[in-house]
Structure 1
Amino acid sequence: MVDTAPVNAGVERGVGTTALLVAAARAIETHRPDSLAADVYAEHFVRAAPASAGWPVRPHQVPDGDADPLWGRFARYFGLRTRVLDDFLLNAAHTGGIRQVVLLGAGLDTRAYRLDWPSGCVVFEIDREGVLAFKHQVLGALAAEPKAARTPVATDLRADWAGALTGAGFDPTAPTVWLAEGLLFYLPGAAETHLVTTVDRLSAPGSALAYEVKLEKDLLAYRDSPLYTSTHRQLGIDLIGLFSREPRPDSAGDLTARGWSASVRTPFEFSLLHGRGPLPEPNDALAGNRWVFADKPPS
């Protein structure tokens, strides 16, 4: 039977389109002379979807270079985020001995294909069916082979994703490293709380979690930020319109109360650590971004 579904199914509108934005940023980062992370598959996602086919995937395709708020500073942010979270996952697997990885809202994440996982790792990718189908079509056309056992879990995070995950072979008695990258901004506060509570319930001792949040009390205070206005002008993506404007829960505090250890870091700390990446500036849409790293102590 011939698959007649459009290749851009799942990423053609709304939050799905932001996965293409991040893929384009990873593609540009890959070809920077001082690259922080490499993803050879990213540009193929961008070219495969009509909505993004004309977007830049190489630094020389950005006329203003790093001075462009979208494809310069914002794209570099995504490159830095990719590197930091790559390091987190690999450290959990190689040093922490964790062999079970769950990517929540996996989008066009290709870590199962591009990272050097130790033997025995399984990577569960949770996202909507359309997004995973688009990824499957693009990577299938490239004959890409994962470097770990990869298990797609086609479900909406607003549904019983825990049941779908365990049904796909997830073992809640084994330590797990969890990742929620570029996800929680779009969820209502109650959904974030439910997600974190569920992760805690499914996490055996020795598990780890990383996620990204925004701490602004008022997102509209940054509505004129060059990052937001440039993204809207160049791509038609209204990020503030996609973000949940509800007050954010203190998920790091909740995890700590449940016995986890948690650290809350700014992206700028990692820019200084790596010697490249975005630094603070006036009217900065990145000012409230935080990366949270949490560990559940071994029993």
Structure 2
Amino acid sequence: MTELLTRGQGGVAVGVGRTALLVAAARAVETHRPDALARDPLAEHFVRAAAAADRADPADWPVRPGQVPGGDADPLWGRLGRYFGLRTRALDDHLLRSARELGVRQVVLLGAGLDTRAYRLDWPAGCVVHELDTEPVLAFKQQVLDGTGARPAAERRTVAADLRGDWAAALAATGFDPALPTAWLAEGLLLYLPAEAERRLVARLDGLSAPGSTLAYEVKEVDAESPAIRSSPVYAAARERLGIDLVALFATGSRPDSAAELAARGWTVTVRSPYEFTALRGRGPLPEPDDALAANRWVFAERPGAVGPAA
């Protein structure tokens, strides 16, 4: 399995791929909280498999709340981990609303990483979930899933492609139909894309989205090199304790206003702060002085012309 961890630029042992393990560990911890915002019983299997292959890091990463030093006060597994739990729940709700209320049956997870929504969400009949990521990430993920005996709750199709290449052709090869409404999800993806790549992605999604399609993604409202971001305890903890320099991985420079671009293309767009969802759910991270997470925004967009729920 070590080869699956390290092979190619898209593996889960290095770079952006390694952040997928960080999120999986956070979801594992969240799953076992009595007040869990989201539950992912498969998440800890990815962390344990990576630890077994590495024989060290991430062997000491927590997968239970009791293993988090300092509990919620810990900037890494407490605060940042709870943020990932809140984000997971908000995006779960977005996808299920798209399927149940708007009648969307075609779902695409861009940069899917170790996402297990095809397995753990209660999808309506007829839903197809396309998971797009690099081949090494998908291979590692599939090997772990095969070991658990888990079965997806929707039809699941994997798409091995790099978002820097012709990923749309690879998606079409798995049966994606641009004439049908699509629920697109780019969780923790645009933060790492250069500005021009983000613009191209938004334009491509717009061109592939039939009326009734939806889109959700995450952005930062400030430059990733701002002092508040660089000095943030959550990012310092990830760098010093896990060797994951999130700030170095974030795209730098001024960012495009993708929400405004989508609105100009006819989408209905809502931009929300994560702390709005903390208030909504009654749990989750709270604002702090010089708070790097305060710059994060979750964008929800819908192309008018919903088909309505299937009969």
TM-score of the aligned structures, taking structure 1 as reference length: 0.97
What residue is the counterpart of 1:61 in the other structure? 67
Provide the secondary structure at the position in 1 that maps to 2:215: strand
Provide the secondary structure at the position in 1 that maps to 2:20: helix
Trace 1:275-290 onto structure 2 (pairs within 5 A): 275-290=282-297
CA contact (8 A) 2:224 2:230 kept: no
1:167 deviates by: 1.4
Provide the secondary structure at the position in 2 that maps to 1:108: coil
1:218 deviates by: 5.0
CA contact (8 A) 2:224 2:250 kept: no
Question: Does residue 45 of structure 1 match 2:42?
Answer: no
Provide the secondary structure at the position in 2 that maps to 1:152: strand
Residues paired across the two proteins, number: 296
Question: Does residue 114 of structure 1 match 2:120?
Answer: yes
Task: Give the whole-Å Cα distance in 1 for the aligned partners of 2:65 and 2:225.
Answer: 30
**More divergent stretch after superposition (217-226 vs 69-78):** 217-226
Q: Which amino acid aligns with 1:42?
A: A
What residue is the counterpart of 2:309 in the other structure? none
**More divergent stretch after superposition (71-80 vs 228-237):** 228-237
CA contact (8 A) 2:224 2:247 kept: no
Task: Give the whole-Å Cα distance in 2 for the aligned partners of 1:166 and 1:118.
Answer: 23
Provide the secondary structure at the position in 2 that maps to 1:287: helix
Inter-CA distance 218–53: structure 2 relative to 1 (3 Å threshold): closer
Provide the secondary structure at the position in 1 that maps to 2:294: coil
Moved over 3 A (4+): none
In structure 2, which of residues 231, 234, 246 is the aligned counterpart of residue 227 of structure 1? Answer: 234
Inter-CA distance 162–45: structure 2 relative to 1 (3 Å threshold): same
Trace 1:23-102 onto structure 2 (pairs within 5 A): 23-49=24-50, 50=54, 51-102=57-108
Question: Does residue 271 of structure 1 match 2:271?
Answer: no
CA contact (8 A) 1:114 1:147 kept: yes
1:129-159 deviation per Cα after TM superposition (whole angstroms, max 9, x unaligned): 0000010000000111101010000000000
Q: Which amino acid aligns with 1:114?
A: R
What residue is the counterpart of 1:148 in the other structure? 154
1:52 deviates by: 1.8
Task: Give the whole-Å Cα distance in 2 for the aligned partners of 1:72 and 1:97.
Answer: 36
Question: Does residue 183 of structure 1 match 2:189?
Answer: yes
Identical-residue share of aligned pairs (%): 65
Q: Which amino acid aligns with 2:262?
A: L
CA contact (8 A) 1:104 1:180 kept: yes
Provide the secondary structure at the position in 1 that maps to 2:5: coil
1:193-250 deviation per Cα after TM superposition (whole angstroms, max 9, x unaligned): 1111111100000100000001113533121111111111110111111111021101
CA contact (8 A) 1:114 1:146 kept: yes
Aligned-pair RMSD on alpha carbons? 1.1
Question: Does residue 257 of structure 1 match 2:264?
Answer: yes
Q: Which amino acid aligns with 1:6?
A: E
- Segments of structure 1 that go 5 or more residues without pairing to the other structure are none
CA contact (8 A) 1:7 1:137 kept: no
Q: Which amino acid aligns with 1:45?
A: F
TM-score of the aligned structures, taking structure 2 as reference length: 0.93
Task: Give the whole-Å Cα distance in 2 for the aligned partners of 1:72 and 1:238.
Answer: 18
1:5 deviates by: 6.6
Provide the secondary structure at the position in 1 that maps to 2:197: helix
**More divergent stretch after superposition (213-222 vs 71-80):** 213-222
- Segments of structure 2 that go 5 or more residues without pairing to the other structure are 307-311
Provide the secondary structure at the position in 2 that maps to 1:286: helix
1:62 deviates by: 1.0
